[in-house]
Structure 1
């Protein structure tokens, strides 16, 4: 890009090659995102157990003992 520019060469010498560092970091982040966005269960986590619904309670009517009054 600016390889023939003495100002660019001087900035690289003083500050480092920031555009190249940014490009490498952007490529790393892009690879990480591609890996994370892959479908499937998360790594290192067991799938959530499947919960079965317990059967509904069966109610029985019972007679009150003699002498008991509800109310």
Structure 2
């Protein structure tokens, strides 16, 4: 990108190639995030067995939405 720029070459010599370092770090983080976001099914159900059902909601919890207040229709 800036290979023919003496100013860029001087900055690289003085400060290091920050854009390349940032790009490498972003790629590393992206790989780690991709690994962490893999679905549970990729491990295999045979290794985990059957997953338990989610716990019931706490007492008093309702799934119903509230009706709009006056003037909000």
Under TM normalisation by the shorter chain, which class is it?
0.5 to 0.7
Counterpart Cα distance in 1 of 2:28 and 2:19: 14
Name the TM-score, length of structure 2 as normaliser. 0.55
Alignment root-mean-square deviation, CA: 2.5
> 5+ unaligned residues in a row in structure 2: which ranges?
42-47, 53-73
> 5+ unaligned residues in a row in structure 1: which ranges?
51-71
More helix by share: 2
Larger CA Rg, structure 1 vs 2: 1
Could you tell me which residue of structure 1 aligns to residue 29 of structure 2?
A: 29
Aligned length, in residue pairs: 47
Counterpart Cα distance in 2 of 1:13 and 1:40: 46
Q: Following superposition, which runs of at least 4 residues in structure 1 exceed 3 angstroms of deviation?
A: none
